[in-house]
Structure 1
Amino acid sequence: MRLLTLFLFLFFGLPNPAAAQYEHLLHKSYAENVYGIHDMYRDLIETPDSVQRALKAGHIKEFARHHKDRRLELNVDFFLVFWNTFYQQQPKDISLRKLTGQLEAATRENLDFLRARSLRALAEFYWKIEKNYELAFEQYLLLDKELASARPADYPEMARDLMQIGQAYYFFQDYQLAGKYFKKAMVLPETSFTTMVINDAKNTLGLCYQQLNQLDSADYFFREVLKTTFPEAAIWKRIATGNLGASQYLRRQYDLAIPLLEADFKGAVAANDYGCAAGASILLADIFRHQKKMKLAAVFIARAENYIAKAEQPDRLRLLYPVMNKWFAANGDAERARQYLDSSVVAINRYHEKFSALKVLRAQQRVDLQAQELQLAAFGLERQRKIAERNFLVMLVLILIAITALTFFIQKKRQLAKDLRLQAATQDLEIAALKLNRFTESILEKNKLIEDLQSRSTQENKDLIFKELMQSTILTDDDWLSFQQLFERAYPGFIMRIREKYPELSLGEQRYFVLGRLSLSTKEMAAMLGVSPNAIQVMRHRIRKKLELSDNAPLEEIMKNT
Structure 2
Amino acid sequence: MILLSLKSYTQYDILLHKPYKEKYLALDSLLETAKRCTTYLEALAVSDKIQQLGKQHNDPEMVLEGKYYLAFYILASEKYDEKQAVNRVENIAEEAEKKKMLPLQIRANYILGYYFWNVRKNYEKGFRYYLKTDRLMQQITPDEFPNFSKYYNVISSTYYTFKDYQTAIRLLNKVIKQPFDKYNWHDKWTSYNNMGLYYDKLGIKDSALQYFQRALEIPFLEKQDIRYTIANGNIGNLYYDQGKYEKAVPLLRENYENAVKNEDWGVAAGAAILLADIYVKNHEFDQAEQLLYLARSYISKSEKKHLLESYYQVASKFYAAYRRTELGTIYQDSLIAAIKQNHSDFDAMILLRAQQKYDLNQLEAERQSAHLYRKMTRMRTVTILAVSILTIGILSVFFFLKRKSLIMGQEQKQKEIDLAKKQLELAEMQLNGLRNRIEEKRENIEVLKTIESDETIERLKDLRRKAIITGKDWKDFCETFDTVYPGYRYHLKLEVPEISPAETRSVLLYKLGLETEQVADALGVSKATIRTTWYRLKNKLSDTKIKNMQELAASIKPKTTT
For the superposition of Structure 1 and Structure 2, which TM-score range results when normalised by the shorter chain?
Answer: 0.5 to 0.7
Alpha-carbon distance in 1 for matches of 2:30, 2:119? 26
Corresponding residue number in structure 1 for 2:149 = 159
What secondary structure does 1:149 align onto?
coil
Corresponding residue number in structure 2 for 1:515 = none
1:177, distance to aligned residue in structure 2 (A) = 0.5
Q: Give CA-to-partner distance per residue, 1:79-118, whole Å, 9 cap, x none.
A: 2222312323432321332222111111111124112212
Assess if the C-alpha contact under 8 Å between 1:266 and 1:277 holds in 2.
yes
Written as runs of structure 1 = structure 2, the 5 A alignment for 1:237-256 is 237-256=228-247
Assess if the C-alpha contact under 8 Å between 1:186 and 1:201 holds in 2.
yes
Q: 1:278 to 1:132 in 2, by over 3 A?
A: closer
Report whether the alignment pairs 1:201 with 2:191: yes
Q: 1:279 to 1:367 in 2, by over 3 A?
A: same
Ranges of 4+ aligned residues in structure 1 off by more than 6 Å:
364-371
Aligned match of 1:290 in 270, 281, 288? Answer: 281
AA of the residue aligned to 2:305: P
Alpha-carbon distance in 1 for matches of 2:170, 2:359? 28
1:208, distance to aligned residue in structure 2 (A) = 1.1
1:248, distance to aligned residue in structure 2 (A) = 0.4
Aligned match of 2:135 in 145, 158, 167? Answer: 145
Aligned match of 1:271 in 244, 262, 271? Answer: 262
Assess if the C-alpha contact under 8 Å between 1:262 and 1:280 holds in 2.
yes
Corresponding residue number in structure 2 for 1:91 = 81
Assess if the C-alpha contact under 8 Å between 2:11 and 2:53 holds in 1.
no
Assess if the C-alpha contact under 8 Å between 2:265 and 2:299 holds in 1.
yes
Assess if the C-alpha contact under 8 Å between 2:156 and 2:168 holds in 1.
yes
Q: Give CA-to-partner distance per residue, 1:4-47, whole Å, 9 cap, x none.
A: xxxxxxxxxxxxx9874312221111111112222322333333
Assess if the C-alpha contact under 8 Å between 2:162 and 2:353 holds in 1.
no
Report whether the alignment pairs 1:236 with 2:242: no
Alpha-carbon distance in 1 for matches of 2:15, 2:183? 18
Corresponding residue number in structure 2 for 1:24 = 14
Corresponding residue number in structure 1 for 2:105 = 115
Assess if the C-alpha contact under 8 Å between 1:152 and 1:189 holds in 2.
no
Report whether the alignment pairs 1:340 with 2:349: no
What secondary structure does 1:52 align onto?
helix
Alpha-carbon distance in 1 for matches of 2:251, 2:119? 37
Q: What TM-score comes out, normalization by structure 1 length?
A: 0.59
1:329, distance to aligned residue in structure 2 (A) = 1.2
Report whether the alignment pairs 1:70 with 2:43: no
AA of the residue aligned to 2:29: D
Alpha-carbon distance in 1 for matches of 2:117, 2:277? 36
Corresponding residue number in structure 2 for 1:387 = none
Q: 1:334 to 1:130 in 2, by over 3 A?
A: closer
Alpha-carbon distance in 2 for matches of 1:46, 1:231? 28
Aligned match of 2:71 in 57, 73, 81? Answer: 81
Assess if the C-alpha contact under 8 Å between 2:50 and 2:65 holds in 1.
no
What secondary structure does 1:243 align onto?
helix
AA of the residue aligned to 2:263: N
AA of the residue aligned to 2:198: C
AA of the residue aligned to 2:250: P
Decide which moves more: 123-132 or 338-347: 123-132
Alpha-carbon distance in 2 for matches of 1:265, 1:100? 42
Assess if the C-alpha contact under 8 Å between 1:210 and 1:218 holds in 2.
yes
AA of the residue aligned to 1:98: R
AA of the residue aligned to 1:287: I
Q: 1:227 to 1:129 in 2, by over 3 A?
A: closer
1:243, distance to aligned residue in structure 2 (A) = 0.6
Alpha-carbon distance in 2 for matches of 1:304, 1:314? 12
What secondary structure does 1:113 align onto?
helix
Written as runs of structure 1 = structure 2, the 5 A alignment for 1:124-135 is 124-128=114-118, 133-135=123-125
> How many percent identity over aligned positions?
30
Aligned match of 1:327 in 318, 335, 344? Answer: 318
Corresponding residue number in structure 2 for 1:221 = 211
Assess if the C-alpha contact under 8 Å between 1:199 and 1:225 holds in 2.
yes
1:254, distance to aligned residue in structure 2 (A) = 0.5
Alpha-carbon distance in 1 for matches of 2:214, 2:359? 43
What secondary structure does 1:332 align onto?
coil
Alpha-carbon distance in 1 for matches of 2:361, 2:279? 53
What secondary structure does 1:177 align onto?
helix
Assess if the C-alpha contact under 8 Å between 2:51 and 2:63 holds in 1.
yes
Computed over aligned residues only, the root mean square deviation of the Cα atoms, in angstroms, reads 2.7
Alpha-carbon distance in 2 for matches of 1:208, 1:277? 21
Alpha-carbon distance in 2 for matches of 1:202, 1:192? 16
AA of the residue aligned to 2:158: A
Written as runs of structure 1 = structure 2, the 5 A alignment for 1:87-486 is 87-128=77-118, 133-230=123-220, 234-361=225-352
Q: Give CA-to-partner distance per residue, 1:531-556, whole Å, 9 cap, x none.
A: xxxxxxxxxxxxxxxxxxxxxxxxxx
Q: 1:45 to 1:143 in 2, by over 3 A?
A: closer
Corresponding residue number in structure 2 for 1:394 = none
1:367, distance to aligned residue in structure 2 (A) = 8.6
Q: What TM-score comes out, normalization by structure 2 length?
A: 0.59
Alpha-carbon distance in 2 for matches of 1:314, 1:24? 46
AA of the residue aligned to 1:35: L
Alpha-carbon distance in 2 for matches of 1:147, 1:312? 33
AA of the residue aligned to 1:80: L
Corresponding residue number in structure 1 for 2:40 = 50
Q: 1:208 to 1:256 in 2, by over 3 A?
A: same
Assess if the C-alpha contact under 8 Å between 2:153 and 2:194 holds in 1.
no
Assess if the C-alpha contact under 8 Å between 2:269 and 2:295 holds in 1.
yes
Count how many residue pairs are aligned between Structure 1 and Structure 2: 356
What secondary structure does 1:186 align onto?
coil
What secondary structure does 2:236 align onto?
helix
Assess if the C-alpha contact under 8 Å between 2:43 and 2:70 holds in 1.
no
Alpha-carbon distance in 1 for matches of 2:70, 2:283? 58
AA of the residue aligned to 1:60: I
Alpha-carbon distance in 1 for matches of 2:75, 2:320? 51
Assess if the C-alpha contact under 8 Å between 1:179 and 1:205 holds in 2.
yes
Alpha-carbon distance in 2 for matches of 1:280, 1:145? 37
Q: 1:277 to 1:193 in 2, by over 3 A?
A: same
Q: Give CA-to-partner distance per residue, 1:510-531, whole Å, 9 cap, x none.
A: xxxxxxxxxxxxxxxxxxxxxx
What secondary structure does 2:85 align onto?
helix
What secondary structure does 1:324 align onto?
helix
AA of the residue aligned to 1:107: E
Assess if the C-alpha contact under 8 Å between 2:159 and 2:167 holds in 1.
yes
AA of the residue aligned to 1:108: K
Q: 1:132 to 1:312 in 2, by over 3 A?
A: closer
Q: 1:211 to 1:303 in 2, by over 3 A?
A: same
Assess if the C-alpha contact under 8 Å between 1:20 and 1:63 holds in 2.
no
AA of the residue aligned to 2:163: Q
1:130, distance to aligned residue in structure 2 (A) = 6.7
Corresponding residue number in structure 1 for 2:424 = none
AA of the residue aligned to 1:293: E
